[in-house]
A and B are shown apart, each in its own frame.
Chain A
Amino acid sequence: MNFDFSDDQKMLKEQAHKFLSEKCTPKTVRAVYESGKTHDAALWKQIGELGWAGAAIPEEFGGLGLGYLELCVIVEELGRALAPVPFSSTVCQFAEALIVSGSSEQKSRLLPKVAAAEIIGTLARTEGPGAILPKNIRTTFKGGKLSGKKTAVGDGMDAHFAVVLARASDEPGERGLQLVLVDLSQPCVTRRAQESIDPSRARAELIFDNVTAEPLGKQGEAWSDLNRVLDRAAILMAFEQVGGADTCLQMARAYAMDRYAFGRPIASFQAIKHKLADMYVNTELARSNAYYGAWALSTGARELPLAAAAARISATQAFDYAAKESIQTHGGVGFTWEYDCHFYYKRARELSLALGAQRVWKDKLVTQLELSNAA
């Protein structure tokens, strides 16, 4: 039994932790919130120099070629520090879309730039509130031209490239869909900044008016490819969620130890102790599910879809619980702008929505259980 990270991977995690403790404090996050900027460009550049964005990208495409386990430990630390950088959209989603569906030419052209954090990439799926269903995708891709509107696109104001879910033919349902790679610097792309829950992960509306674009992967495989990308991203971002949940627990613990009420630290009241114990239990369960996801991702195991859904649900629940109960533990100051709790509360919700709601993932999970017959 060897179900843990190696000493080298733990060392990498420790290095990432040390770097971020210095370069990405809550003040860094606050500065992004209060400056009106969408992310911390200097931090993103340094992350590029460290090679983190290319940790799992093969060397032939300009990455470090370390592997997914290494990427997972880095993402956990980014989540712990609430790093205000477009890492998740670029590395966990856009790069994974290239890896899953891209031709070797497309990979050679773009992955080295992702690895160096020279470009920001994103995934554009959503066209409005409610479920994302093949029959409702109205963005079109015909004759090499993309037209339509996507909303709530992660890091949409900053992204250089997007992978867009579009309809390429009149064939019904999934069969008419196509993933499309588009350079967002073109003049026929209109962007509009949207207000969103977590301004350090700013979202935008993208309008395409007959924009030149290229197919990514095959028509008819877009829906299943997209789901594969989402599964892989879910595992990576589960680590981001676990990191965030852990910070909430530590913040709540520190506050409860310091804060006196009724003549004693509030950490000595069972109402608080049990809350923190539950945070711990949820976070450990989520961590273990994320580890299993990391194993599935790094080995390409056929259990990956089940592992991804479990990691995603577990980590979403853990971060959600920890973020809201951290505010509750802090009492009134917890929901002031001045305290940091709200950054985590917002990030937890942002991450729970980023790859689709829990409802969707729970349905996916049970579908996998039905298929696996293991259950």
Chain B
Amino acid sequence: MDFEDSPEEAKFRTEARAWLDANAKLKTTNTDAAELKETEDKTTLTAAKAWQAKKAEKGYARLTWPKDVGGLGGTPMQQVVFHQEEARYDVAPSGPFNIGLGMCIPTVMAYGSKDSIARYVKPSLRGDEIWCQLFSEPAGGSDVAALRTRAEKDGDDWVINGSKVWTTGAQFSDYGIVLTRTDPNAPKHKGLTMFYLSMKSPGVEVKPIKQASGASGFNEVFFTDVRIPDAQRLGEVGQGWQVALTTLMHERLAVGGGTGGMLDVPQLLQLARELELEDGPAIKNAAVREKMADWYVRSAGLKYTTYRTMTALSRGQQPGPEASIAKIVVAPKLQDLSAFAVELEGEAGALTGADALDDGAFQLAWLNAPGLRIAGGTDEILRNIIAERVLGLPPDIRVDKNVPFNKAPTGR
């Protein structure tokens, strides 16, 4: 047991480091303030695109992809090593490209024509074109297959009407993959079809959603008579659910990345060292210490679980099911820890922004935490997934599974 690189990993790490040294500067501080805030403004986006293009030239933009589509043909472990190294440098975030490269483009590569693969893969790798994923709807969140956006055949075209919601990055995306209902008379999973489309198509309207924190990371997207050719269909008509499962399968655990910039026990410890409570320094308070230990063992447990996953990758094995627990641990912990920290501050904890302690970092985390417990699978759906896929428990009984979609109960 050790935490060392294998000789191949060490060799790759040296190469990655040399390239990063030549193309970027090391971070000067440990805390990455940028990561704590949602900065998806124009300047950040321009910088992100420039850095993405640089990585793409070297094959580092998606280094597990084959060389002929612009990857490096590398191993998942090399991807992890590159992420670790990249995180040490002061570079623009890769967030705007993650959904496109992590989910949309793999779906295009699996179901698209040769022409569309040749047309779309490289520009997206370079960050020249950004993709979003248009699945969730007002009537289909956790139950995404209940979606109602219609696509109707009209000659060689399809005409899309309806709306999507919670679409991350739609405001700066060039393309999207959209899951639609093409047959309302079929049971809900069987009447779906997947397409891709330009977000600049006539009839597409993007409206940002203002979140509880005041920021806007998500959008509503409205489709009014949006006309797209049949060539933009991904997979067979009525097979959209199978295609969507492929998309979601690619939404793998971001090994080695992810929670880096999030508030956790180190920041709470720092706060407890600075604050005085009714009975003395907060760091000496038994209740504070007990809570801190509880959260520490969950963070540490997750960190070493990631190490176990990385070990499996390093040995060329499939990671075990333990890789599925991350979000269910991180999101509720962030909510509890940030609420506790804000309470420690007493009445002054009510302040946010510049007047608040640490520029209101705990307040902001607390405001964002509810979203983290919902986005990308709610706590409840994630528990279902662990129960069904890891523990092999029976699926829920579904009263709408074998009825025509337009006859299924909707409650309204």
Contacts and interface: CB of A to CB of B under 8 A. Distances in A.
Given A1-B5, A6-B1, A288-B322, 11 more contacts: A4-B312, A5-B1, A257-B393, A265-B394, A270-B380, A270-B383, A276-B391, A289-B300, A291-B1, A317-B294, A362-B289
Nearest to A298: B1
B286 A363 contact: yes
Contacts of A314: 297-298, 300-301
Interface residues of B, number: 53
A195 B387 CA distance: 39
B304 A289 contact: yes
A247 to B, nearest CB: 14
Return the 10 tightest CB-CB contacts between A and B, nearest first: A285-B301, A273-B387, A362-B293, A288-B304, A277-B383, A3-B307, A277-B386, A268-B394, A314-B297, A288-B305
Contact of A310 (B2, B9, B300): B300
B322 A284 contact: yes
A370 B310 contact: no
A256 B394 CA distance: 10
Contacts of A265: 394
Identify which of A267, A285, A287, A310 gathers the most chain B CB atoms within 10 Å of its CB: A285
B269 A369 contact: yes
A216 B283 CA distance: 36
Interface in A30-62: none
Contacts of B392: 253
Contacts of A277: 328, 382-384, 386-387, 390-391
A87 interface: no
Given A3-B311, A286-B301, A310-B297, A281 B1 contact: no
Nearest to A69: B1
Contacts of A253: 391-393
A280 B298 CA distance: 13
A285 to B, nearest CB: 3
Nearest to A314: B297
Contacts of A294: 1
A313 interface: yes
Nearest to B313: A1
B290 interface: yes
Nearest to A293: B304
Contact of A284 (B5, B77, B300, B301): B301
Identify which of A289, A359, A370 gathers the most chain B CB atoms within 10 Å of its CB: A289
Nearest to A6: B1
Contacts of B266: 374-375
Interface string B6-47: 100100000000000000000000000000000000000000
